[in-house]
Amino acid sequence: QEDYQSLADDCVAQILLERNSTEFVSEGYLLGNPIFEYESAHTDSTQKLHVLVWLKCQDMNPEHMDKVAEIILYLLWCRHKIEYVYHQSRWCNVRAKQLYGKLEQYRQRFNQISQGSNQQSLLSQLRGELRETELEYVRYLGEFVVHENTISINEQNYSTKLKKLELLPETNLNLWQQFLDYVRNKLQKQIQIDLRSLKPGRERLEHLKSTVGEAIVNQGVESEDDSFGIPSEIYSKLRNALLDCEQFDSVERLRNFFRANALLTPWRNRWKAGSPSELVEDAIGYLHDKFRSDTKENALVILVRLLAKSIDPADSRHQTLVEIAQEFSQVLTRKMT
């Protein structure tokens, strides 16, 4: 038969159902025999079909055949990996841009809160939302980098294997070289463009979160009572003392401290990742009005006392924490009488 493509078309039509139809992409020669490439139009890599039809029209060296079979399987695997990871990067891009789009809403809320009443509570709520958004945003940026590296590795592997295949006699595989060009000039460049456009969003989130945090501190200094009903003088000392405790260096250390102390067990699963200052402010805000059901002792007082107990009495931090625990206990006693 002279028209090999028609024969290849008929082969594909017999193999696939009509709903999985594909289109002819290109053709080449492998070991002197024609090879045809077909692909479906799906953008979703989990649904996309990639079909090769290799017709044996003349004899081939069996050793070459074995080598070709191994390389073709590897090329197909790399190709699918690249397309699948790129498809995943599109989902990350959509989600990250949705989060990026919230920045203007957060900024407007901050301006509205700054002009109204009950600022302390609303600002704390806004900062919490910003923290959650930032964590999610950073996660998507990290996934983007992983996707970029995965595509780069598979593109290099694909290129290496393709070069080996092209060294075989009577072989012309421009059809696969075109895919390699597509990866380099379209997929990889698009991910790089996406990353450049999204990275400023993290800086804007950090800046807005820092601005809200400063506003919370300033509100506390200006009011007669600081955050959460704690007198500003005690709040300032308490915040600085907790920042000096290594337990607030990371969320893991804070969680471990709560797990290691039975008196803090009811609140051991509360903590989320954040900077030391965020962990401190979160701890004060969450524990200041929490009490044990058995002893009725305040959770924040328990935390401060246990932190003091964990520090050498010769260390000045020990005495500072002991005094703060006593002062805050007295404040609570006055409020409850």
Cα–Cα distance, 37 to 24 (Å, whole number): 6
Residue 240 has pLDDT above 80, yes or no: yes
Neighbour count for residue 181 (Cβ, 10 Å): 11
Residue 222 has pLDDT above 80, yes or no: no
DSSP structural state of residue 275: -
- State mean pLDDT over 101-112: 88
Residue 188 has pLDDT above 70, yes or no: yes
Percent of the chain with pLDDT over 90: 31
Percent of the chain with pLDDT over 70: 93
Any idea which residue has 């479906």 for tokens?
A: 40
pLDDT confidence tier of residue 85, bands split at 50, 70 and 90? very high
Residues 6+ apart with CB under 8 A from 132: 272
State residue 94 phi and psi, 5-degree precision.
Answer: -65, -45
Cα–Cα distance, 334 to 314 (Å, whole number): 31
pLDDT confidence tier of residue 221, bands split at 50, 70 and 90? very low
Radius of gyration of the CA atoms of the chain, in A:
32
Cα–Cα distance, 304 to 138 (Å, whole number): 32
Q: Are the CB atoms for 36 and 52 separated by under 8 Å?
A: yes
DSSP structural state of residue 168: S
Q: Each residue of 265-285: pLDDT tens digit? A: 888 877 877 788 888 888 888
> Tokens for 250?
């990371």
Q: Are the CB atoms for 226 and 220 separated by under 8 Å?
A: yes
